[in-house]
A and B are shown apart, each in its own frame.
Chain A
Amino acid sequence: MPRVDPNLVKRTAMFRQPLAALLVVVVAAVAVPQYWLFLATSALVSAVALLGLGIVGRAGMNSLCQLSFAAVGAWTVAQLNVWSAPGTLILWTVVGGVVAMPFGVLIGLPALRLRGVHLAVVTLGFAAAADVVVSAINFPGVDSYQQVMRPEFIATDRMYFVYAGLLFVVLSLAVEWVGRTRIGASWRAVRFSERATAAAGTSVAGAKLSAFALSAFAAGLAGGLLAGQVGMITAQNFGTIGSLALFVVAVMAGGEFVFGALFGGFLIMFIPEFFRRAGISQDWANVLFGVGAVQALSQGTSISEGFAKRLRARRPAAVPPAREPIGGGRPPLGAKPLLEAKGVGVRYGQVTALQEVDLVVPEGTVMGLIGPNGAGKSTLVDALSGFLPSAVGSVTLDGRRLDGLPVHRRAGAGLRRTFQQDRVPTGLAVDAYLRFAAHRLVTRDELEEIRGFLGCPPGDAHVADLDVGSRRLLEVAAAILAKPKLIILDEPAAGLAHAESLALADRLVEVPARYGASVLLIEHDLDMVRHACARIVVLDFGAVIAAGPPAEVLARPEVARAYLGGEEAALT
């Protein structure tokens, strides 16, 4: 049976939608009458702004001030036009986009502390404030009656349409491309969990700000494009309600997809025109958009996401190969201390969660950290990985002091952790997630190898389609792939069947030798701990109560008491 190379299909996938868009533009440029081309140009302007909205959407943030950024772009273009700056409209438009970026970062700053609806209210407030400023400062050239000049070769409305179309295609290619880089993955990761993003070595601030900056860039381009199209721009182009309507259309059509943005731009311009021609009030268009957005959200997806899901659903679901149980073996004890924590303490108000914990994890070993619920295990992990800036004590990794470093820097220094809760972003494919979380350049072979090692699903499977157990394994795989010095696994076997837990334990034993990383394993499953660990540490009421080889420690009565609440019994 003849088959297309699947890698080739994958690599060209990102070009498919932009190229289809290019086709639409070319056909329209030839076949459509001039008046409709002008309308279609407006649709492209909206589509460019929608693409930008899709970028913050990927990062899980709502921006209700997209047209304010567009105003910045338009203003820049108008000013450069008045100055008769070199580079013609084409360069001015790009400059307009660039000038809009700092404003995007400015609005991104509150997003570092404000989330969800709080952020939405702030962006709406910004839109209103920007509306005030834009109304107050005249657009350059309006008083002196200077129209924004188009260069000769795009002077006609038809040619300008082609130019707008090309700009849209180039931008959508760029967005698709960036979406596949680590930055793009970090947007999706931030949307799912900020903690996991930081733990994967990526700055949350960087992810959010880059999303806002690029979104503002696209909006600025749209503003510049509009300035060139209409020639004379005024504040009414960039009203608050316009930003809201744009958001609603993005929700409905799906600004995260090139097709969705194009479709959304098309709807914004052509639905009112359709009503106008039919002799119906154009206000119906906004009613329709609102109803459409409600409908789209009640389906849980935008229109284009719905189509994308349907396309994907036709592909056969991937079945991960069964993990073979292997003989296990004992991890080496390790001698040289790798992680040294001294006097680590955490207080929440009056409650002492951790007191004076000393912990040494040697190089090249698998160590267990056990304790009853509420003993402070996860608090200790949070303190070690940098999530608790209020923690006292010192943490050293391989001789380097980690105190005061933020989470993503500790991750970069070689301390990786996983989470008890499922924190694998659902918006990504398996390999995309692995590449993102590895935070280094990895080869295809490395990906194959690690997936094979842990029995993860194939690389093109979508995380959203995986069961919880597979996601846990994937998280472990990602942590290993990052080549850290120490991996802290917080209950990785939760969600795995008992046999699978033991198989995972077998693999963990191999990790130090195979990947050069020590493992600190936090686990309730004592069988697994016994299998995997060379030493264990027992935590109770925020303090270390025992440490040593598993068999010996688990036999101690105080450990048994801690687990079983006073009953005199050995845990063997």
Chain B
Amino acid sequence: MLEGAIAGLAGGGAYAALGLCLTLMFRLVRVVNFAQVAIGVIGVYTMALTVDHGWPYGLAALAGLVTATVVAAALGWVMGRWFGEAGADQRSAISIAFLVSLLAASYLAYGTDPRRIPGKFGGSLFTVNGITITQAAAVCTVGSIAVAAGAWLFLDKTVLGLRLRALSERPTTAELHAIPSRWLGVGMWAVTGLLAAAVLLVVAPQQTSDQTSLSLMIIPAGAAALVGGFRSLGRTVAGGLGLGALQGALAHVSQLQQYRDTVPFVAILAILIWSQRREVWDAAR
């Protein structure tokens, strides 16, 4: 069980980091970006494609990161240009449209053949008491905590962070105060797109890596973000890591059979309903 739980941390760290992207996006640009992971997938596949063309890994990874950043920025621009004042619900619906389109576009661009994703974090880091910690698990876990800490410092301690938070409340008002809201929003998309691609560069080589199942990592990532209520960075990380560990541990419970993948959903749902039990009404008054 414990072994399984620790083995699950690689996935958990990825959920946590992607969940952080979602939380930051929701807090700062009012969108639950369903296309978040799909943007990362574009980056990873660009990397795989260029490696196939004989590029060295480092250069290819850079190309992947740049592509994901540019794609994310472009989507962010569309969002800011036409849906600057729209509510979170509508913007999120748009991101679902982005997801469906991006996925189809990635099939068009990279083909439908499953690709093997080269990676650098395949090996094991160290072994304690017969429990092996893989590099990917360590990088993801430490990375997600570092990102959360960095984001917290940035948002609470820097002027730009404060501006971003002000912007998220009312973009037009922020614009009146000479804060270029649209470009800050585009920047936010670009940064989270970069982050998503980086996360996938670490975990995708160890995972089944067809575009659809990778893109659907948005679901556990979204669950992690829900644990944090799309607000708390710390609880998002905890939610992601917990979810990964739970999945890993459940692999050892043979009674659950093929239904084990539904357990995290049920767990998240229970947490959510408990934490939101007082949200009886849609508006404060």
Contact = CB atoms under 8 A, between A and B. Distances in A.
Answer yes or no: A and B touching, Cβ < 8 Å. Answer: yes
Interface of A: 62, 64, 109-110, 113-118, 120-122, 124-126, 128-129, 132-133, 135-136, 193-195, 240-241, 244-245, 247-248, 251, 281, 283-287, 289-291, 293-294, 297-298, 378, 382, 387, 421
Interface stretch (B1-9, B65-73, B260-268): B260-268
B272 A122 contact: yes
Contacts of B258: 132, 135-136
Interface string B202-225: 000000000010001011001101
Given A122-B272, A195-B282, A287 B96 contact: no
Contacts of A297: 83, 86, 90, 93-94, 97
Interface in B49-72: none
Nearest to A127: B219
A349 to B, nearest CB: 13
Given A118-B272, A132-B258, A247-B96, A241 B212 contact: yes
Given A118-B272, A132-B262, A283 B96 contact: no
Interchain residue pairs A-B with the least CB separation, the first 10: A290-B101, A286-B104, A136-B258, A293-B97, A298-B82, A117-B32, A129-B262, A129-B265, A121-B222, A290-B97
B88 A117 contact: yes
Interface of B is mostly: helix
Interface centre among B86, B87, B212, B269 (most CB of A within 10 A): B269
Contact of B262 (A133, A244, A387): A133
B198 interface: no
A391 to B, nearest CB: 14
A121 B88 CA distance: 13
Interface stretch (B114-122, B149-157, B162-170, B273-281): B273-281
Given A116-B88, A135-B258, A244-B99, A125 B104 contact: no
Nearest to B78: A294
Contact of B96 (A64, A109, A378): A64
Contacts of A121: 32, 219, 222-223, 225-226
A113 B281 contact: no
A248 B89 contact: no
A128 B104 CA distance: 19
Contacts of A298: 82-83
A113 B98 contact: no
Given A121-B223, A290-B101, A290-B104, A194 B276 contact: no
Please classify how large the interface on chain B is, using the bins under 10, 10 to 19, 20 to 34, 35 or more. 35 or more
B82 A285 contact: no
B96 to A, nearest CB: 6
Interface centre among B97, B104, B273 (most CB of A within 10 A): B97
Contacts of B94: 293-294, 297
B129 interface: no
B107 A283 contact: yes
B177 interface: no
Given A115-B282, A118-B230, 11 more contacts: A109-B273, A113-B272, A117-B230, A118-B226, A124-B222, A136-B257, A241-B100, A284-B108, A287-B101, A290-B100, A297-B94
Contact of B222 (A62, A114, A125, A241): A125
Nearest to B266: A129
B219 A124 contact: yes
B200 to A, nearest CB: 18
A193 B283 contact: yes
Contacts of A240: 216, 219
Interface of B: 26, 32, 34, 78, 82-83, 86-90, 92-94, 96-105, 107-108, 212, 216, 218-219, 222-223, 225-226, 230, 257-259, 261-262, 265-266, 268-269, 272-273, 276-277, 279-283, 285
B223 A113 contact: no
21 contacts: A110-B272, A117-B32, A117-B88, A118-B230, A122-B226, A125-B222, A125-B268, A128-B261, A136-B259, A194-B283, A195-B283, A195-B285, A244-B100, A247-B93, A251-B97, A283-B104, A286-B100, A287-B108, A289-B97, A289-B101, A387-B281
Interface of A is mostly: helix
B273 A289 contact: no
Contacts of B78: 294
B219 A128 contact: yes
A114 B98 CA distance: 23
A115 B281 CA distance: 10
Nearest to B284: A195
Contacts of B92: 62, 116-117, 120
A421 B283 CA distance: 11
Contacts of B268: 125
Contacts of A126: 265
Contacts of A116: 87-89, 92
Contacts of A287: 101, 104-105, 108
Interface centre among A110, A241, A421 (most CB of B within 10 A): A241
Contact of A245 (B100, B269, B276, B283): B100
A567 B266 CA distance: 61
Contacts of B104: 283-287, 290
A82 B222 CA distance: 39
B89 A62 contact: yes
A95 to B, nearest CB: 25
Nearest to A249: B100
A62 B89 CA distance: 9
B93 A195 contact: no
Contacts of B223: 121, 125
B93 A62 contact: yes
B181 to A, nearest CB: 18
A283 B282 contact: no
Contacts of A283: 104-105, 107-108
Given A121-B32, A240-B216, A110 B262 contact: no
A110 B282 contact: no
Given A118-B272, A126-B265, A244 B96 contact: yes
A248 B96 contact: yes
Nearest to B26: A117
Nearest to A113: B276
B72 to A, nearest CB: 15
Given A62-B89, A125-B222, A241-B212, A110 B97 contact: no
B280 A113 contact: yes
A132 B261 contact: yes
